[in-house]
Every structure is written in structure tokens, then in C-alpha cells.
Amino acid sequence: MKDRVVLITNVEHFVGRPVAAELAAQGATVVCHDRSFADAAEAEAFAAANPVLAVVRAQTPAEIVAAAIEACGRIDTVVCNDAGAALRAPIEAARVDDLRAALEEMVVFPFEMASAVVPHMKERKSGKILFITSATPLRGLPNYSMYVAARGATNALTVSLAQELGRDNIQVNAIAPNYVESPTYFPPELVNDPATLARMTRNVPLKRLGKPEEVAALVAFYASDRSDFITGHVMPFAGGWA
């Protein structure tokens, strides 16, 4: 990973921090974005706690990409670490406004990130786009249709962009977790309760939750030159659940 520049979005959510730490440990130059960095104090606190990372305070995808290129000269890999609320609601009670919000966070934003970075990657004839999505669309999840639909759209985007961008030596893949410890979906207050943990892992063939560090190791593989012949792949990371 040495001499590679990796941009991670929404780093304070989902598996962002472990991914950033793993990539930095492997020698990558890691550029981090988070919406909270609009607050200068938040950005400074993150930078102070993670001295090996560069931080961009820009908010729109075009601005984020431009700021990362200005800071580091190029972007080799974008890790779209997108997260949104997994709202539980039967279809007859689901609110269209909640669906639109899910699509905005988990489909529109990564779509715009890809749109913003692709011209730079095409010019260099090299690049990787990696979406962190969910395994739920691969199997379905009753009463979570809004979340599953949004995640499924980005899984489909992965396959389509891989076909489109392969001629420019740009690989597009997705890692699709479920049942992974994270502050966003499986926070410590749930994981540390034995009864809740047993109930959550009942349907997981490996009978445990995944570790965010395990996701980070897989991200590092996809971000490296070891994955140069892999594209259009939606990789389930769910302990056999999907």
C-alpha cells in the first residue's frame, strides 16, 4: 500500500476508523472525510487523534475529491463508507420521506462521489472505487425494505460501473457486511449484552459477529494492487448469513 493515496468518506461512521487505521498501518496515505468535519473543532480533534491521516473539511463530493487531490496530488482508491439509518417499518407504514433520505445517504452520495472521482482516474488510466454496502439485499430482510432497497441500489451500481469503467483500468467493487460490530449498527451496548448477542448471532452460521478490523483487512486487499483483476464483485461479509 506504500505510495497509494486512499480517500475514505464518512470516516466517523460504520467501519471508517478501523479502515483508516489499517490502511495507514500498511503505508497508504489516507485522506479522511466526514460531515462532522464541517465543524473545525471536530476536524482538529480527529486529526490530533489520528496524526498519520490527512483530513478534508469539504462537504460536497466534488469538493471532497478536489480537496483530496489538492492535498495529495492524486487519488488511487476511494472507499465510500456510507451509512444510513436501518429503519424498521412494515411496507404499509413506511414513510416515503424516510425512503428518500435513505436513498440520498446510501445511493446518491456514493453515486456523486464516483462521478466526481472518475474523470481523475480516467485521466490516469488507473483507480479503484470501493463501496461499503450491506449483505441484506442479497437475502432480504422483512420490515426493512427502505434500507434494503437503498443498499441494493448501490450493489447494483457497483456491477454496472465495473462494466463501464473497466476499459479505463478502474476497478469497482463492494464489500457487503452484516452482523459486524460497529457503532452505527451493532454498538457496544448491544454486543456486550449476552442475551442480545445470542439472539443476534442465532442465524449467523459462524455464530459470532464480525470484527470491524476484519472488514478493514478486506478493504486493504481491494485497495491494493493484489485486486487489480477483480471488478464488479459484491463480496458478502456476514459470517455465512448471505
- Which residues are known to be catalytic? 147
User: Which residues touch 198 (CB under 8 Å, ≥6 apart)?
Assistant: none
Neighbouring C-beta atoms of residue 186, cutoff 10 Å? 20
Instruction: Identify the helix (H) or strand (E) that includes residue 41.
Output: helix 40-49
Neighbouring C-beta atoms of residue 234, cutoff 10 Å? 20
What is the sign, positive or negative, of the torsion defined by CA atoms of 203, 206, 207, 212? negative
What is the sign, positive or negative, of the torsion defined by CA atoms of 14, 127, 221, 50? negative
